[in-house]
């Protein structure tokens, strides 16, 4: 594991493309409807941020790149080509096994665009499918239908992109356990290497939040939502997919290496409007709005905030994100980052969670138990603020 303060440069890059064809009803991400947006001005500003970032913190050999949004695939082929050339220019050294992921909407991926993506180095595509029922898709504000899903995956494979993932959601308004069972079944028929399956969270500043407050959001009951989660875990396991993180399932060796960077609390560059980065125990957050971001890039790095993470916060983060992974956290990895033992710092919390049966111990490793997965947030909360009590 990388010690974040040993001077080793970041090996992971996150880049944010904030444009969407429309705003989904549940989305609180930093995204803006594409119409009339200054896309090329944004991409030039992003190029400038990359240039200034690598001057300030030179990169090493890049192992993972993840382009998120918004919907990065709303870029036209020429815009996509410009953007990918920027990435290659400013981060020229790539690991021979680089994982270069891009999020995609099934309604925005024709063959021409996918070919430009592959040509520019993208080798993994994550499609936001969410469900396999058209009525559920329109009910959450998605612009694609189920036919678009099959067409997009076929297009990706036809240009030589085979490392594909789809996102599904459960706990959606009007979704039943049987609907989720059908969605998982259809997703598994695609025989993809990776699936992300998230529960709906009703976030502030979304249409769903407004409806929820008016008691007009017909969500499944807590019992049904628990049944959905248990169903998806057992179905994915039976199909040969390892649950390597609370919401992520993969065939052996096909886990998302970029996301594992976050869950191991390792360094990464964060580029683009509203992006977060973490380098040498310093977090930053970029300016969110498209035009303010473009303006700020003329005079320097477009930062909204930059702050040092204390060792205490870094230790708490290590536990909270590390326990999301099924492999858990190890004393060896903790010592590599902090030079201290897990038991020196978190003995009380570990003993409490072990006694409650929510985590289990295997040698120097601690991980969520089967029961603990269902109460993950309660477990993570146990490791926040404890150091102030020591």
The 10s digit of each residue's pLDDT in 209-260 is 778 778 877 787 888 889 999 999 999 999 999 999 999 999 999 999 999 9
Q: Which two tokens stand for residue 76?
A: 């036209």
The DSSP bridge pattern shows strands 242-245 and 194-199 to be: unpaired
16 CB neighbour count, 10 Å cutoff: 24
**Position of tokens 């191991």?**
264
| Dist. CA 367–CA 381, nearest whole Å | 15
- What domains does the chain contain, in order, with CATH numbers? 12-263 (3.20.20.70), 315-388 (1.10.10.920)
Q: Which two tokens stand for residue 248?
A: 């992520």
Does residue 1 register a pLDDT over 80?
A: no
Across 184-239, the runs of DSSP E, i.e. the strands, are 194-199
pLDDT of res. 24 = 75
Within 13 Å and on the Cβ side, how many CA atoms surround 281? 18
Per the DSSP assignment, residues forming a β-bridge with 127 are: 104, 166
Residue among 110, 97, 34 nearest 64 (CA): 97
85 CB neighbour count, 10 Å cutoff: 13
Per-residue pLDDT averaged across 118-143, rounded? Answer: 92
pLDDT of res. 2 = 41
Question: pLDDT (tens digit, 9 = 90+) per residue, 276-298?
Answer: 999 999 999 999 999 999 999 99
| Dist. CA 380–CA 267, nearest whole Å | 21
Contact 269, 55 (CB under 8 A): no
pTM, 2 dp: 0.93
Tell me phi and psi for residue 250, to 5 degrees. Answer: -150, 155
Q: Which two tokens stand for residue 56?
A: 């300030």
202 CB neighbour count, 10 Å cutoff: 17
Per-residue pLDDT averaged across 73-101, rounded? Answer: 97
Contact 334, 277 (CB under 8 A): no
255 to each of 167, 230, 236, how far by Cα in Å? 14, 21, 14
Contact 304, 272 (CB under 8 A): no
pLDDT of res. 258 = 97
pLDDT of res. 4 = 44
pLDDT of res. 28 = 66
Does residue 8 register a pLDDT over 50?
A: yes
Within 13 Å and on the Cβ side, how many CA atoms surround 347? 5
Per the DSSP assignment, residues forming a β-bridge with 17 are: 69
Per-residue pLDDT averaged across 329-351, rounded? Answer: 94
Q: How confident is the model at residue 26 (pLDDT cuts 50, 70, 90)?
A: low
Dihedral sign from CA coordinates of 6, 381, 241, 220: negative
Per-residue pLDDT averaged across 169-174, rounded? Answer: 89
Question: pLDDT (tens digit, 9 = 90+) per residue, 307-330?
Answer: 999 999 999 999 999 999 999 999
Per-residue pLDDT averaged across 94-103, rounded? Answer: 98
| Dist. CA 265–CA 318, nearest whole Å | 6
Does residue 7 register a pLDDT over 90?
A: no
Can you give the C-alpha Rg of the chain in angstroms?
Answer: 21
Q: Lowest mean pLDDT: which of 17-21, 55-59, 203-207?
A: 203-207
Per-residue pLDDT averaged across 54-58, rounded? Answer: 95
Contact 228, 171 (CB under 8 A): yes
Across the chain, the runs of DSSP E, i.e. the strands, are 12-17, 19-20, 32-33, 62-69, 94-104, 124-130, 163-170, 194-199, 242-245, 248-250, 269-271, 276-279, 282-286, 303-308, 329-330, 359-362, 365-368
Contact 131, 176 (CB under 8 A): no
Residue 200 C-alpha from the chain's centroid: 15
Q: Lowest mean pLDDT: which of 19-28, 85-94, 235-244?
A: 19-28
| Dist. CA 282–CA 271, nearest whole Å | 15
pLDDT of res. 353 = 96
| Dist. CA 350–CA 336, nearest whole Å | 19
pLDDT of res. 142 = 82
Question: pLDDT (tens digit, 9 = 90+) per residue, 343-389?
Answer: 999 999 999 999 999 999 999 999 999 999 999 989 999 998 766 44
185 to each of 31, 189, 236, 239, 248, how far by Cα in Å? 31, 6, 9, 10, 16
């Amino acid at each position: 594991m990388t010690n974040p303060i040993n001077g080793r440069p970041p090996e992971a890059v996150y880049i944010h493309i904030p444009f969407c064809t429309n705003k989904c009803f549940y989305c609180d991400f930093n995204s803006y409807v594409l119409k009339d947006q200054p896309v090329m001005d944004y991409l030039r500003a992003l190029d400038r941020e990359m240039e200034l970032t690598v001057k300030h913190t030179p990169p090493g050999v890049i192992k993972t790149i993840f382009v998120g949004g918004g919907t990065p695939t709303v870029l036209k082929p020429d815009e996509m080509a410009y953007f990918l050339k920027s990435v290659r220019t400013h981060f020229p050294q790539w690991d021979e096994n680089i994982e270069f992921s891009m999020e995609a909407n099934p309604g925005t991926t024709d063959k021409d665009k996918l070919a430009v993506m592959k040509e520019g180095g993208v080798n993994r595509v994550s499609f936001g499918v969410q469900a396999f029922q058209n009525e559920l898709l329109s009910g959450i504000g998605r612009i694609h239908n189920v036919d678009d899903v099959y067409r997009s995956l076929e297009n990706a494979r036809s240009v030589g992109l085979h490392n594909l993932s789809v996102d599904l959601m459960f706990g959606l308004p009007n979704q039943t356990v049987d609907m989720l069972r059908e969605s998982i079944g259809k997703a598994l028929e695609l025989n993809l290497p990776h699936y992300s399956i998230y529960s709906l969270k009703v976030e502030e500043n979304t249409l769903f939040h407004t409806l929820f407050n008016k008691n007009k959001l017909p969500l499944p009951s807590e019992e049904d939502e628990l049944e959905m989660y248990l169903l998806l875990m057992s179905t994915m396991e039976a199909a040969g997919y390892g649950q390597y993180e609370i919401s992520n399932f993969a065939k052996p060796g096909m886990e998302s290496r970029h996301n594992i960077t976050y869950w191991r609390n390792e360094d990464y560059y964060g580029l683009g409007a509203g992006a977060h980065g973490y380098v040498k125990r310093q977090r930053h957050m970029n300016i969110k709005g498209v035009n303010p971001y473009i303006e700020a890039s003329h005079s320097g790095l477009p930062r909204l905030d930059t702050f040092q993470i204390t060792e205490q916060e870094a230790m708490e983060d290590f536990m909270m994100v590390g326990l999301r992974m099924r492999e858990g956290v190890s004393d060896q990895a903790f010592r590599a980052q902090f030079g201290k033992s897990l038991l020196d710092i978190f003995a009380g919390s570990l003993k409490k969670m072990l006694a409650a049966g929510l985590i289990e111990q295997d040698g120097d490793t601690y991980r969520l138990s089967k029961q603990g997965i269902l109460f993950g947030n309660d477990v993570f909360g146990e490791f926040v603020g404890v150091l102030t009590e020591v």
